[in-house]
Structure 1
Amino acid sequence: MEYRIEKDLIGSKEIDNSKYYGINTVRALENFDLYSKPVNIDFVKEIALVKKAAAITNMKLGKLSEQKANAIIKASEEIIEGIFDDQFKISAFQGGAGTSVNMNVNEVIANRAIEIIGGKKGDYTIIHPLNDVNMSQSTNDVCPTALKITTIKKVQKLANEINKLKEALELKEDQFSQIFRLGRTQLMDAVPMTVGQGFGAYAKALERDLYRIRKTEENLKNINIGGTAIGTGINSSDRYIFIISDTLRSLTKLNVSRCECSIDGTQNADVFVEVSSALKIFASSLIKISNDLRILNSGPRGGFGEIILPARQAGSSIMPGKVNPVIPEMVGQISMRVIANDTAITMAASSGQLELNAFIPLIAESMLESLELLEKAAILFREKCIDDILVNEKKCIENLEKSTALVTSLVPFIGYDKACELAKKALREDKSIREILYSEDIYSNEDIDTMLNPSQLIKPSELKDTIRDVS
């Protein structure tokens, strides 16, 4: 194996010459040897995009020669294309506010750019990772800017999938609009409803989630690039800030713009808490929906058994014939992880001190994991569960008729106390409310059937005006 020697302020190290990264990356690999996930590769690629924008800007300002700038631009594009993914293995959890990942990108770009020009890796007299690749930049404006761009792109993808999931639920609302089932409160029999009404309510919750998540893009678009170390813009210039902001807007096709106060954009991470909060609310909706589906699907003989979730895999290594609701279970677990990530993001954002938040790496890992998990969960929930849900109409009607839920509809006619007596009698004699009413001979069978018709009980009505008052 061939090695090269690189130096930093701490000392020197042998670097495997096949690697494009340098001494800063090697130290980070040693210091953060956590056997954890590496930094999110999409985040790395957006950092490379920022480096490309900086090279274009510095070339326009005459700070970088065309040869150097074009080599840096080409190397950055190759990272964005995924050619050097194997060069980014630093743990997602790292000290230094993201300095390690920023330097990792700087070194890979520099060494690849040196090759493009015709030099040998490690010869930083040709292109330097800091003097050239990191010119007019700091980790403290590069990483927040790249993270906001990464987050916006993933928010947009997630929003698209939430909308598809909402539409799938709305289709079920229409499909099951004429199938009645027993509504329940606190897991106890309540009043009639349609299966479709339940799915319609789920869709409305996701509609609000979608609005909240889309709205977070507004604050994410304010980037602190050019603020450098603490937001004051030391070692950059006003022209640089305006040009790189325009360049990033052009490269990303996103309406990003420079912060009104770069010090604020450098030290405060509240925008990420805002995004995470919206994700947490969506996760809570998914938990509610997935739990409801599991309950309504329970059985098939010993539970509710009112809906039938698609069978996706055998459910037990010991119990033959058992099929579990694995997709809703998976969705619930992902949602719990997102809620846990929200706690981490909140704590990390609140732990920033003075002019910098050192915990950007934790925010990045937690935020991007949540966005990616929720996007995939929305796809799988829709494709492998919601789209193929069926209803056991016979079981729905059976449970509705056996319950005391229909007695509520009698209150306008016979009063609450008399209705209670009928309910207790039905339970005591193990009969339906309909059967009890038939035997009471208070109303004609035709009037009873009208009063207990579920289609009249799932919406406001003036049914009392059509039935003889015997109260």
Structure 2
Amino acid sequence: MYGEQTRHAVENFGRGQTPRDFIAALAEVKKAIFTAIQESEHRYAPEVYAAICTAIEEIRCGLHDAAFPLPLAQGGAGTSLHMNFNEVLASLVQSRTNVPFHFLDEGARYQSTNDVIATAVIIVACRRLREIEAGVIALQEALVAKEQAWRGIVVTGRTEWQDALPMSLAQVAGAWAGAVERDRWRLHKIKERLRTVPLGGTAIGTAFFVPPEYLFLAEKHLRAITGLPLSRSQNLPDAIANQDQLAEVASGFSLVAGTIIKLCNDLFFYTSSAVRELVHPSLQWGSTIMPFKTNPVMIEYAKGLAMRANAYCSAVMQYAHEGNLQLNAFLPFILDGLLHASDDLGEALRALSEKLLPRLEASVTKIVYNLHSSLALLNALRAVVPYEALKTFYESHCKEGACFPFASIEELVRTLSKESGIAEEILYSQLEAFAPTKPGAMSAPPEKP
């Protein structure tokens, strides 16, 4: 169905499959173009125009995907992709009407690869951005659910891998949710800046031999056909020469990936055998030789995908910076990177929000044991006990090999009150701000889980 130019492209770049998302977006751009031409010029006989519309719709729906054998890794700024579409469209129209339909004179009328392909790429990027935004919202909601579920659970807060101060486990989840909320806000702002397209600018943004009426009609029909709030750039040479708006999408995706990586790193710690304050669900057997081993497979899966997405985003930003003069020839590579990055990010977000977080449980027994065996409790007294006095107190009671040198909270409070002269009620009141430590509430740290 395709023609000689596509065959040459296959010889040059190898056989692959043009992504479905892009074929559909390019078909929508073509539909807007031919609708505008027919509306402004009445160029085609009714049966020919009907054949054009039918062929484009069939392509959009995926009925002719086998006729699009080109990978996105290619030279020519997407010219081969445009040629391929035009050849397939001409073949379909001619076979159904027996009317000559030249793949360039008609198939590319008022069009250049440089405005048409770029517009299709932006449509794909807009949709992928919305998908990732939805995934980020789902992750935020899953974390907020954990924040609500974990209220009242006091855990050891840590900095630089060391015990610091007691805090609520809800606050831990809330901090994760806060980072995701900022990602959500950033993606929304990027979405606003991605709406402008270069359609009608043709080769270098000068709208070479494009009738003004067509220019406005194509923009109007593109919005209606795609359902996206697209608008024609008011600086078409800029819109064709520069791809920084796509680099910004990649940057937004990269920040989401970074948030996922940080979240996964924290979850590795909390679910580790050494800490065990959170329990990773047992989703599959963890070893072919060790019966009692649970691997954090979902955390590893999400982090691995986020790391790979980050690498794709880095490549996209590099490609976006490599434009020269009036065109960036690496637009197909940019699209390829964005598609891979959004695929990986979308799956990582689903893995966390749907498969891991709903099953992630807090081990309250282990949390209490770790807290009541931690010097974080001494740090919590800093508000009522002078800094050096706390240091001297600890050093005078430190036992070799013991991190927390007291057998119980009561012993700690009683001894510190006696040596510092600070009333036990004041010490208990300070600790009570972090954990239930009233006299009699717990006489000793729980046995080690």
Asked if these proteins are the same fold (TM beyond 0.5), I'd say yes
Against the structure 1 CA distance between its residues 140 and 399, is the aligned structure 2 distance closer, same or farther, given a 3 Å change threshold? same
Q: Which residue of 1 aligns with 2:298?
A: 327
Counterpart contact for 1:172–1:196, Cα < 8 Å: yes
Aligned to 1:133, the other structure's residue is in SS state coil
Unaligned runs of 5+ in 2: 437-449
1:32 aligns with 2:26: no
What is the CA deviation profile of residues 71-111 of structure 1, one whole-angstrom value per residue up to 9, with x for unaligned ones?
Answer: 12111111111112222221120000011111121122222
The aligned amino acid for 1:319 is M
- Corresponding residue number in structure 2 for 1:90: 70
1:310 to 269, 281, 285: 281
- Check conservation: 2:303, 2:348, Cα contact below 8 A: no
Q: Provide the TM-score with structure 2 as the length reference.
A: 0.90
> What CA deviation, in whole Å up to 9, does each residue of 1:257-300 have, x standing for no partner?
1110111111110101111111111111110001101110001x
Structure 1 441/221 Cα, relative in aligned 2: closer, same or farther at 3 Å? closer
Q: Hey, what's the Cα distance between the residues in 2 that align with 1:441 and 1:217?
A: 59
How far apart are 1:437 and its partner, in Å? 3.6
Q: How does 1:39-188 map to 2 (within 5 A)?
A: 39-62=18-41, 63-117=43-97, 119=98, 126-188=100-162
Change (3 A) 1:32 1:156: same
Deviations, residues 43-76 of structure 1 (Å, cap 9, x unaligned): 1210111111111111112233333222121111
Question: CA contact under 8 A between 2:253 and 2:341: conserved in structure 1?
Answer: yes
- Stretch of structure 1 that moved more, 136-145 or 315-324: 315-324
Q: Match for 1:21: what amino acid? A: Y
Letter in 1 for 2:7: V
2:376 counterpart of 1:405: yes
Unaligned runs of 5+ in 1: 1-19, 120-124, 458-471
* TM-score, reference length from structure 1: 0.86
Aligned to 2:389: 418
Q: What amino acid is the match of 1:243?
A: L
1:284-299 superposed matches below 5 A: 284-299=258-273
CA distance in 2, matches of 1:249, 1:427: 72
Q: What SS is found at the alignment partner of 1:182?
A: strand
Work out whether residues 102 and 143 of structure 1, in 8 Å CA contact, stay in contact via their aligned partners in 2.
Answer: yes
Residue 319 of structure 1 and its aligned partner are, at CA, apart by 2.4
More divergent stretch after superposition (276-285 vs 434-443): 434-443
User: In the alignment, which of 267, 271, 295 is matched to residue 245 of structure 2?
Assistant: 271
Task: Give the Cα–Cα distance (whole angstroms) in 1 for the partners of residues 194 and 380 of structure 2.
Answer: 51
Q: What is the SS of the residue equivalent to 2:434?
A: helix
Matched, 1:438 2:438: no
The answer to whether the 8 A contact 1:273-1:346 is kept is yes
8 Å Cα contact 1:59-1:66 kept in structure 2:
no
The equivalent residue for 1:232 is 206
Identity %: 34
Which residue is equivalent to 2:447? none
1:451 to 430, 443, 447: 430
Greater shift in the superposed pair: 239-248 or 411-420: 411-420
Higher relative contact order (CA 8 A, sep 6+): 2
- Paired residues in the alignment total 427
Contact 2:413 2:428 in 1 (8 A): no
Is contact 2:264-2:302 (8 Å) kept?
yes
1:374 match: 345
Q: How has the CA–CA distance of structure 1 residues 251 and 385 changed in structure 2, closer, same or farther, with 3 Å as cutoff?
A: same
1:307-343 CA deviation, whole Å, 9 max, x = no partner? Answer: 0122222222332222211112121122212221222
The match for 1:220 among 191, 194, 199 is: 194
Letter in 1 for 2:35: I
**SS of aligned partner of 2:327:** coil
Report the CA distance between 1:425 and its aligned residue: 4.9
